Amino acid sequence: MTRTLEVRSGVYVDSVTLMQVSRRVAAVEGVDAALVAMATDLNLDLARGMGFEVPAGVGPNELLVAVDATGDAALAEALRRLDEALHEQRPAPTGFGAPPAALTVRAAARGLDPASAVALVSTPGRHAFSDAVDAVDAGLTTLVFSDNVPVEQEVALKRYAEQDGVLVMGPDCGTAVIGGVGLGFANVVRPGPVGIVAASGTGAQHLMCLLDGAGIGVTHCLGVGGRDLSEAVGGLSTLRALELLDADPDVELVVVVSKPPSPAVAEAVRRRAERLGTPVQLALLGPGRPDLTASAREVARSLGHEWSAPEHWAGAPGRGRPGGFLRGLYSGGTLCDEAMLVAGERLGPIASNIPLDPADALAPGLASRGHTMIDFGDDALTRGRPHPMIDGSLRVERLRAETADPTAGVLLLDVVLGHGADPDPAAGLAGPVQEAVAAGLPVVVCVVGSREDPQDLRRQCGRLTEAGAAVHRSNAAATRAALDLLEPAEEDR
């Protein structure tokens, strides 16, 4: 066995690209394991876990290359493939006198007209603030995709932007659509009269796709970040986004979508909404409040559109394992919230890493405990690795574990399509889903997508139903379908 651990300085590559590079290196014949990653604490632990001794003083600005191969030839080939893959990623000046690639947002934004340009920042969370400030300085509407941005920095950033009247979306904002252009994770939806302000990424995607399915288009969808309606942030970007949408003549109806917000901030938003010329509908998730599908129906009604229930396709018939619990494995935080709200009405408390009530928090390690739902997009699970909508491997691992767990009764999953997301998520899920169904564990999937999404909604749904899953285009309906499959324990009958 031949192993090597290299530390390269002066190289930075984003985590998604590194994941792709790692895969290419690991695919070399004779390579047993490969880790190509920035030397964050998490990744250093992974290297140690692979049995490597990591030299002292290595920091997160350095690139870690750890390869475990069966022989020298394989190792050499792996390193060659690595250099090839890394080299492809480096933008280089072309031609005599061509300017080198911009190294900062400020440099890239120089000379751009703020009316026709926006900025999309997805740098690591501890650095994203400065990059966003650059974009605000240039007057650009700014979407901060990065997560793990400290809340104090979020407040500072939004206050900084406020003085210039610039809209900051995010941080931790996965989704925005501006004038038909999708930023981050965005579905391809028709243009239309609805403007969305979303303190929730997947919630916004779900609403857009439900509306699109009902023939209703969206002008803009402004993702303000999951914390915007929290006490700390106080709706700074929501209020700004409301004004921008109110000023847009193409917007006939504004919808505010949010995970369960702070009541005081929700009230402030309500008061501001009442003063706008454009009607505003609040779709704020919470106990006893309408789910996203009900909100979409309400939007359709307000605009005089017909509404029919979102499509669904039955999977393999069957019931849940007797006495088993509901297990929800989500990539979308708001979808997970919504599922817990819907399921909680029937099942009571649900354990989670993003629990509705802190008392229901899962212990570190996130082992399932009774009815359990996990948001794999939570900050703690994405530090130093791509979002589960890009890389579903962590969730697939868990899916297999739940299949093997006799206490799992029914599985509930989401699959989110659109720009930015995995180009073929069903491909990775079909096998494990089939195994689960074969093991007597029914699987219900909510697919969030539009007909025009690059992944091909029909093909994705078809692949999942073929694997035996029941597929719904409404998350609330999927959750209720999963609940219907739960087989109560003998003693409860």
Stretch 461-490 residues interacting with other proteins (CB under 8 A): none
Phi-psi group of 438: left, alpha or beta (phi > 0 → left; psi -120 to 50 → alpha; rest → beta): alpha
Distance CA 31, CA 68 (A): 6
Q: Interface mask (CB under 8 A) for other proteins, residues 363-392, using x and -? A: -----------------------x---x--
Question: How many CA within 13 A on the CB side of residue 336?
Answer: 23
Q: Which is nearer to other proteins, 132 or 350 (CB)?
A: 132
Question: Do residues 146 and 153 make contact, with C-beta atoms less than 8 angstroms apart?
Answer: no
Q: Which is nearer to other proteins, 192 or 386 (CB)?
A: 386
Q: Which strands form 470-472's sheet, in the order they lie side by side?
A: 312-313, 470-472, 443-448, 408-416, 325-330, 372-375, 351-352
Distance CA 260, CA 354 (A): 12
Site for other proteins in 6-65 (CB under 8 A): 10, 12, 14-17, 38, 60-61
Distance CA 159, CA 166 (A): 10
Shortest CB 43 distance to other proteins, Å: 14
Please select the residue that binds other proteins; options are 25, 31, 133, 441, rule is CB under 8 A: 133
Q: Judged by CB under 8 A, does residue 148 bind other proteins?
A: no
Shortest CB 181 distance to other proteins, Å: 5
Please select the residue that binds other proteins; options are 25, 52, 68, 153, rule is CB under 8 A: 153
Q: Judged by CB under 8 A, does residue 163 bind other proteins?
A: yes
Q: Which is nearer to other proteins, 156 or 438 (CB)?
A: 156
Distance CA 250, CA 218 (A): 10
Distance CA 283, CA 280 (A): 10
Q: How many CB atoms lie within 10 A of CB 215?
A: 13
Shortest CB 129 distance to other proteins, Å: 5
Site for other proteins in 166-205 (CB under 8 A): 178-184, 186
Give the number of residues in contact with other proteins, rule: CB under 8 A: 75
Site for other proteins in 97-116 (CB under 8 A): 97, 99-110, 112, 115-116
Please select the residue that binds other proteins; options are 123, 187, 202, 460, rule is CB under 8 A: 123
Please select the residue that binds other proteins; options are 85, 121, 168, 477, rule is CB under 8 A: 121
Distance CA 457, CA 426 (A): 10
Distance CA 446, CA 373 (A): 14
Site for other proteins in 236-275 (CB under 8 A): 244-245, 248
Shortest CB 196 distance to other proteins, Å: 12
Q: Which is nearer to other proteins, 42 or 73 (CB)?
A: 42
Contacting range for other proteins; rule: CB under 8 A; set: 152-160, 204-212, 254-262, 476-484 = 152-160
Q: Judged by CB under 8 A, does residue 126 bind other proteins?
A: yes
Q: Judged by CB under 8 A, does residue 165 bind other proteins?
A: no
Please select the residue that binds other proteins; options are 1, 55, 57, 91, rule is CB under 8 A: 91
Please select the residue that binds other proteins; options are 145, 325, 330, 376, rule is CB under 8 A: 145
Q: Which is nearer to other proteins, 98 or 359 (CB)?
A: 98
Location of structure tokens 């394991």 = 33
Shortest CB 169 distance to other proteins, Å: 12
Among residues 171, 189, 170, the alpha carbon closest in space to that of 180 is found at 189
Residue 323, φ and ψ in degrees, nearest 5: 75, 0
The helix or strand, by DSSP H or E, that contains position 40, with its residue range, turns out to be none
Q: How far is CA 326 from the centre of its chain?
A: 22
Site for other proteins in 209-238 (CB under 8 A): 220
Question: Do residues 405 and 436 make contact, with C-beta atoms less than 8 angstroms apart?
Answer: no
Among residues 131, 148, 139, the alpha carbon closest in space to that of 111 is found at 139
Q: Judged by CB under 8 A, does residue 404 bind other proteins?
A: no
Shortest CB 465 distance to other proteins, Å: 27
